[in-house]
Structure 1
Amino acid sequence: MKAIELKSYVSALALGSAMAVYAPAFAQQPAAPDPAAPVAATDDPPQGLDVIVVTASGRDKTQLNSSVSVTSVNASVISDFLPSSESELLRMIPGIQVAGTAGPGGNANIAVRGLPVATGGSPFVQIQEDGLPTVLFGDIQFGNNDYWTKFDATVASVEGVRGGSASTYASQAPGAVINYISHTGLQEGGFVQLSQGLGFKETKLDFRYGGPINDTTRFHVGGFVKNGRGPLKAGYDVSQSYQIKGNITKELDGGKGYLRVLFKTANTQEPNYTGSPAIATINGLSVKNVKAFPGFDGRKGSNYSIYNQSFQILNREGVLERVKMDGITTKANSLGAQFRYAFSDMVSVDNNMRWTQMSGGFASPFFNLSLASGVIGSVIARPGLEDAKVASIRYANGPKSGQVFTGRYVDNNVNVRTNIRDIGSFANDLTVSGKFDTQLGRVTARAGYFYMDQNIAMDWHVNKSLREVSGKNPAQLDLYDAAGNKLTQDGISGYNNNWGECCARDYDLSYTNTAPYIALDLDSEKFGLDGSVRFETINASGYAIAGGKEFLVTNNGVQIAAITANGNRETLDYSRTYTSWSFGGLYKLNTDTSLFARTSKGGRFNGDRQTVSGKINPDGSLNQAGRTASVDFVNQSELGVKNRGAVFDGRYTLEVTLLKGDFKQSTYELTATRCPGGAGGCIIDARYESSGAEFYSTYRRGPLSLIGNATYSNAKRSGADSNGKPTPFSRAPGIADLSYTLSANYDFGERASLGISTTGQTAAIDDAGREYPGAAIFNAIAKVTLVNNLELSLQAYNLFDTFDLRGNGGVADTSVIPNVISGNPALGRTVTAAIRYTF
């Protein structure tokens, strides 16, 4: 660590400690919470540092007395913040670094603590619902974990644990565990809310209700129904979704425990945002003055088009089939059960189980800006025939159908359809705890066993496609030779071959993860110590088939090159074991302040991304390269302070954590996104390291409440040169030095409230080292109670319509001024009105 970094860390910790020491001067001290007390029996749980940590922990300590970095955000704060997607919701948790521009369907790259995403998804972050993962791996190809969990009215809070015990209380989550915690009907009541987009077509109905059935039984049920074209004003209804979740809880033996049955049914169809063009000034590696592209403003325009709302694929049976361009779709039915019982003051047992039947799909028009001049004169390979040379481009459909296309730019990215036939699972987590009083303090010993069987069955269809560049119903473009012969059909020039032979895939895989784990915790009046270890075993089975050689398919008289998954068949039959550990200590400076330190080493298994990459032997075992790449280990160290107190007649909480981490990764990249030379399919070997700090604070004074978080990262990456030797560390792409979220709310009596919030980040670089400017998005919400229990609200996202290019893209044209680039901007100004009836 550099001296200046160390000096900054020490200064920050000293500042936090000083605030902690002097906080008692502002107010009387409340009684310290009893660490052994059960979770409070209310649907309005304690706030701030008094919240009992239930995620990736022993479930018996408050945040103040836990030696982990943990943040709990309740549902009302999330709703007022108005996140535009599931990934932007995660920006409310410090340490989680995500652009937030993926859209409501998902497919975000979720980094944590400066440890970037080498390929896609969230390899080190596990998303849970009520304590169990929705999918075992966060970076399943075309099945990222943010597809399968949607924030709805049944969620009481979202809790995030970073580092530390995430490595040992959960599998495949050395970076963080994010847990969506449900209401359970402890208090009778609920609401129904109807929301409507203003200036765009989108209607959503949210509802929840719960309460006691009798003295020992209670229930809760809720969800949403959503329909519309979305704020990017797609040409057709790209959002058609519903989700219903519920639970019934039976208290046992006078409060010694409970049995809870949970269920969910969901059928969602939501778009993922694939990017847009923009204009900017590029000077060397500096990209400045980023603005919307004329004719395609990514804040308001969509690549989803009525002229491409269905398209043809060559399916796994080798037959042309017309499919919908319906974004990211999910179908899920799950049934779970939670059992908790204290056999005595010393011994208790917890078991959490869930069976899930789940499938879905990924259909999207990826965006890539290219010069049309590069298409004219290009050659289209046709196996068995003479190559064809492109002489002209014409509109394939739309109002200009048949006319010659004369535009400067085209969108030449893929039309992709992935059928997720089965991504169901069964998971169970059993823990037995024993508590013992000693002279040093209370000792808690825990032993647990986690089991999860995860299916992953998919077939991929990645068509070569061409369309015009427009933010409003872009038309498909067809290619012709000099004799006027048509070379493409409906803008498609190839079936399943856009990324080469690797990626016309068909596979049916199963991964079984078993993990016994043990933890020991000492809690005394002034300090606490804890250690835990987890022993992971992964058994992989199934098969994967990649594409074979190209051949011609005739569609309406046009012969088009195609690939099907009839190449080499790879059989999986191997096991991999590894160990994760974590050790931490806490010092209770006083009843309002604690200092903690933690170090950990956590592993995550590289699942389906190992397939079709040369890492599996013919007998199904891993070769040496496969064994090396099969597990990525994350090393982390952290030092933090937690404090609460009073200042200026209000109450505050403060959490500051200094951190350092590193990991190595060898993974297969299937697209041209990060492959040298733009080739689809390559192995990426890299090392990553990061140092930084997390900040989270709340303040409440009468009707005013403030919440803020920030994450600073000094993230670096070392790749490999042409000889396979590591390159020097340099700034990691896609990670801003500073990202932050701030929120303020003011209640005007009982009839009205006003809230404002902002989320932003500083500059970040792309893979080529070009730096893109950061920006901040401001949001606002106003609520008015018309009559008792009837509330009208008006929400505005991106109030000032800022063009914030968070998802950095590439450079398309530097021959014009301003230069033309591409990327993923945040949504523009989006206003929604809602009426809610509470009962």
Structure 2
Amino acid sequence: MKLSSLYACASFVALSGAFLAAPAMAQEAAQADAADAVPESVGLDAIVVTASGRDKTQLNTSISVSSISAETISNLKPSSEAEVFRSIPGIQVAGTSGPGGNSNIAVRGLPVATGGSPFVQIQEDGLPTVLFGDIQFGNNDYWTRFDASVANIEGVRGGSATTFASQAPGAVINYISHTGKDEGGYVQVGKGLGYDETKVDFRYGGPINDTTYFHVGGFFKNGRGPLHADYTVSDSIQVKGNLTKEFDGGRGYFRLMFKYADTQEPNYTGSPALATINGKKVTNIRPFPGFDGRDSSNYSIYNQDFLIYNREGNLERTKMDGITTNAKSFGGQFHYEFDGGITVDNNMRYTDMSGGFTSPFLNVARTSSVLGSTVNGATVATIKYASGPKAGEVFTGEYLDNNVNVDTRIRDIGSFANDLTVAGKFDVGTGKVTARAGVFYMNQKIAMDWHVNKSLRELNGDNPSQLDLFDSAGNKLTQAGTAGYNNNWGNCCARDYDLSYANTAPYMSLDFDHDLFDIDGSVRFERVKASGYAIGGGDEFDVVSGGVTIPTITSDGVREDLNYTRSYTSYTVGALFKASSNLSIFARTSRGGRFNGDRQTLGGKIRNDGALCTSADAAAGNGGCTADGVTPSVDFVKQHELGIKSRGGLLGGRFTLELTLLKGSFKQSTYELSATKCPGGAGGCVIDAKYKSTGAEIFATYRNGGFSLVGNATYSKAKKQAAGASSYTRADGIPDLIYTLSANYDVGEIATFGLAVTGQTSAIDSAGYEYPGKAIFNPSLRVYPIRNLELGLQVYNVFDTFDLRGNGGIADASVNPTVISGAPALGRTVSASVRYSF
């Protein structure tokens, strides 16, 4: 094909992608170079700083990377971190678990077998916030918040994410901070209209002298939230700052960085709904009477605290405060350019971090399934309200919520990380060779204790009461709606552990850059040292609580002492053809591994001497082994990419386009703690499966005068082969298409009209039921009455669409309409803001 024809096709695809496909990003694709994170270049000319060599533009690098400016993300009106991630092509977050986090983050059709983001690493300024993305009750979206300190977010998928970062064979999402090299900032106050929530965002930075500059930014947030809890569920503060000193005429710099975060945000665990079911098709989904998940939840003033049996052996009252984090970190970045093309970079951070996960889970059950059942050795004859205005009255509702109240105490999830790189660039013939070598080290602590109570409450979205059970003689079988302490999922999940994982990873890369093409390859050698202990639940015993005997489990069962090392290798090879100054074509293949950390524990995979069990050990029952621990300790992902990047003029404006065709596969063996996906509904099981996916991702921007459009879409055919199965079937939880679109029109310097759209096609649950996908429309208006003053009005889900984005579940198929459960997107939510810039 002639280059002119290929360029014309690229222009047509860009226009089609921008107007039809969708999803979203960099309105003015802000980028940051190694010395300054302030956006200073636009589009495909931006230097890539994440999971790369830091010396190439997006157009001339053979990796799939997108940069999204802070302004573009703000225009999308994200209701959670999950919706921030949806703005990055290739990242697939089907639903949202609320502003606290706990979303399942898939990438490029590679599904999440249990929870978290096993193949995606979230970074702040080039270092991970936590080493593993799927830490049990500690997913990586707990620990990072998009705020005013962020200049832009870069997302690298596949390719160099495999070799320039640990535990990230799928993608790296890097939050890049402003540095203050250019003076400026703002203060913004946002207020919910019709609900109680106030947020103050702020940032300011600038030069101190010719060689020194600083930046500080963050937010304060407080309120009861858009789901109208009747007590404060959001109470958060985050402040991030840095100070940079340049030296030797700008050849080097040293940057000090700090972060303080103390956050409390709700975790949305879903709601009931009504639907019509025809075969495996779920349609006509609408709110459940009395519990509309768009604007209500099972957070309740009658359940804002509850008793747990703590690790010290006492009953203790704990707050129902959702997901909490407490982080204090400081770090430093060093950069210097020596003579002869040699560059040294070092990035270091120490983090003291802890938190918690305390939430009422949801499960819809018929009241009749509880009446007549055996609970705590007696037959349930009556159910009564345990609290609220109806306390003591008989409960007669047709359905109730019989799921867990969980309190997980994250005592320590702190870390130390350091990444040192030395690079040299040399002329070779008519091209340049860049050789790079580095070593990454991170020590990740994971210390937690779990408390999962059997609990019952009414199915109601307006301050549901706990429910107590009684036998026919009037004897109370529960206390404040609690039927058991720490025993909801059996002895698997009354855990106490204190683990440490030291990840050492030397890596190297070689790149040959010619005027017409570029060839690169890199390799990473991972070595993970595991230590510490994990204790599972023991035998059930009785505890008297408020005069009622309650069955209890505590962590006095099987103990594992970890003392093993696992090593593995990741690699990638890519090539780029520079068809013109505005068009490049690239191909890449890679194999990356990710270590299965705390999910390896208490599953029969650790020998009595602390080593990983081999398959031979498991077969013979040696050393206390019941399962192979070596093979599933590392999950490998293979990916192949073919992409095109283009820019140019179109209809009087300018466009950019990134389109990548994808093919990938992986095999995963992981531990599932709850009954959600375990066969037979029993808590605690190992899930083994193979996955493969084909698809495409697109990222496009268009600007014409005052009009700008940014969109991204990810299309994938994700398939799963369960252990023992002979064929692949559609993978659950992954829509075929996820997209985001953001359009804005500036009316001179008077106002800006915006419309953001985020949506997806259908997805199936683990039982094969297919749920429809929908789109959420979010309009906004910004008015500038005087210089530096902005008045804003934002609407999320303007049409109040009932969009069940998380995987659903069939609660009662015996009635019409069918009762289901799931996690709907927020309903119509309106907020106003005032911003003053300086």
Residue of 109, 121, 136 corresponding to 1:114:
109
The answer for unaligned runs of 5 or more in structure 1 is: 1-9, 25-36, 382-386
Shift of 1:344: 1.8
* 561, 564, 568: which one aligns with 1:571: 561
SS where residue 640 of structure 1 aligns? strand
Cα distance in structure 1, aligned partners of 2:33 and 2:531: 42
User: 1:344 is aligned with what amino acid?
Assistant: D
Q: CA deviation at 1:20?
A: 3.7
Structure 1: distance between partners of 2:533 and 2:160? 34
Q: Is contact 1:349–1:431 with CA below 8 Å preserved after alignment? A: yes
Match for residue 711 of structure 1 among 706, 709, 714: 714
Task: Tell me by how many angstroms 1:23 deviates.
Answer: 11
State, as a whole percentage, how many aligned pairs show the same letter: 69
User: Cα distance 1:225–1:15, how it changes in 2: closer, same or farther (>3 A)?
Assistant: farther
Q: Which of residues 522, 528, 553 in structure 2 aligns to 1:538?
A: 528
Pairing 1:240-279 to 2, within 5 Å after superposition: 240-279=235-274
Q: How does 1:613-692 map to 2 (within 5 A)?
A: 613-624=603-614, 625-692=628-695
Query: Larger relative contact order (C-alpha < 8 A, sep ≥ 6)?
Result: 2
Aligned partner of 2:214 in structure 1 is 219
- Give yes or no for the alignment of 1:439 onto 2:429: yes
Q: Structure 1: which amino acid aligns with 2:718?
A: A
Task: Kindly provide the amino acid, as one letter, of the partner of residue 674 in structure 1.
Answer: K
Could you tell me which residue of structure 2 aligns to residue 28 of structure 1? none
Shift of 1:39: 5.7
Q: Who is 1:728 aligned against?
A: 727
Q: For residues 409-448 of structure 1, what are the structure 2 equivalents within 5 Å?
A: 409-448=399-438
State the partner residue of 2:53.
58
Amino acid at match of 1:607: G
CA–CA separation in structure 2 for the residues paired with 1:416 and 1:15: 60
- Measured against aligned partners, the alpha-carbon deviations of 1:36-70 in whole angstroms (never above 9, x if no partner) come to x9668682321211111000000011100010000
Matched, 1:88 2:88: no
Secondary structure (helix, strand or coil) at the match of 1:827 reads: coil
Match of 1:562 among 552, 563, 568: 552
Matched, 1:98 2:97: no
Q: How many residues are paired up? A: 808
The CA distance in 1 between the partners of 2:118 and 2:498, in whole Å, is 21
Asked if structure 1 preserves the Cα contact closer than 8 Å seen for 2:613 and 2:630, the reply is: yes
Q: CA deviation at 1:345?
A: 4.5
Say yes or no: does 1:76 pair with 2:75: no
Q: Which amino acid counterpart does residue 339 of structure 2 have in structure 1?
A: S
2:602 is paired with a residue whose SS is coil
Partner of 1:30: none
Deviation, structure 1 residue 77:
0.7
* Equivalence map 1:413-812=2 (5 Å): 413-624=403-614, 625-720=628-723, 725-812=724-811
**8 Å contact kept, 2:164–2:507:** yes
Q: Deviations over 1:676-716 (max 9, x none)?
A: 11110111110000000001100000000001111000000
SS in 2 for 1:306: coil
Q: Is the CA contact (8 Å cut-off) linking 1:20 and 1:592 kept in structure 2?
A: no
Q: 1:419 to 1:188 in 2, by over 3 A?
A: same
CA-atom RMSD, angstroms?
Answer: 1.6
Post-superposition shift, 1:726?
A: 3.6
Query: For 1:303 and 1:557, how far apart are their aligned partners in 2?
Result: 27
SS of structure 1 residue aligned to 2:463 = coil
Q: Contact 1:16–1:656 at 8 Å: present in 2 too?
A: no
Corresponding residue number in structure 2 for 1:5: none
Alpha-carbon distance in 2 for matches of 1:196, 1:665: 44
Contact 2:99 2:265 in 1 (8 A): yes
Paired with 1:476 and 1:106, the residues of 2 have a C-alpha distance of: 25
Equivalent of 1:132, from 127, 130, 138? 127
Judging changes above 3 Å, is the alpha-carbon distance between structure 1 residues 21 and 399 closer, same or farther for their aligned structure 2 residues? closer
Query: Per the alignment, in what secondary structure is the counterpart of residue 164 of structure 1?
Result: coil
Distance 1:544 1:15, change over 3 A: farther
Alpha-carbon distance between aligned partners in 2 of 1:745 and 1:142, rounded to the nearest angstrom: 38
Are the counterparts in 2 of residues 804 and 826 from structure 1 also a CA contact under 8 Å?
yes
- For residues 286 and 66 of structure 2, the distance between their equivalents in structure 1, rounded to whole angstroms, comes to 35
8 Å Cα contact 2:206-2:214 kept in structure 1: yes
Cα distance change of structure 1 residues 410 and 513 upon mapping to structure 2, 3 Å threshold: same
Alignment of 1:1-40 (within 5 A): 18-20=8-10
Q: Please give the alpha-carbon distance, in whole angstroms, between the structure 1 residues aligned to 2:197 and 2:6.
A: 45
CA contact (8 A) 2:236 2:262 kept: yes
Is it true that 1:178 corresponds to 2:173 in the alignment? yes
**TM-score, scaled to structure 2:** 0.95
Structure 2 unaligned spans of 5+: 15-31, 615-627
* 8 Å Cα contact 1:84/1:100 also seen in 2: no
1:390 aligns with 2:380: yes
SS in 1 for 2:504: strand
Output the CA distance in 1 between the equivalents of 2:480 and 2:307.
Answer: 9
Instruction: Give the Å deviation of 1:16.
Output: 6.9
* Counterpart for residue 33 of structure 1: none
CA distance in 2, matches of 1:765, 1:222: 41
Secondary structure of 1:787's counterpart equals coil
Q: Is the contact between residue 247 and residue 261 of structure 1 (CA under 8 Å) also seen in structure 2?
A: yes
- Structure 1 length normalisation: TM-score? 0.95
> Distance between the aligned counterparts of 2:814 and 2:230, measured in 1?
32
Q: For residues 589-618 of structure 1, what are the alpha-carbon distances to aligned partners after superposition, in whole Å with 9 as ceiling and x for unaligned? A: 000000000000000000000000000000
1:657-685 CA deviation, whole Å, 9 max, x = no partner?
00000000111111111111111011111
Of 172, 197, 200, the residue aligned with 2:192 is: 197
Could you tell me how far apart the structure 2 residues matched to 1:21 and 1:310 are?
58
Whether contact under 8 Å (2:36, 2:179) holds in the other structure is no
* 1:747-802 residue CA offsets vs partner (Å, 9 max, x unmatched): 00112100001000000000011100000000011000121111100000001100
Residues 588, 640 of structure 2: 8 Å contact kept: yes
Structure 2 contact 95–823 (Cα < 8 Å) conserved: no
Q: Which residue of 2 aligns with 1:34?
A: none
Instruction: Tell me if the contact between 2:789 and 2:837 (Cα under 8 Å) persists in the aligned partners.
Output: yes
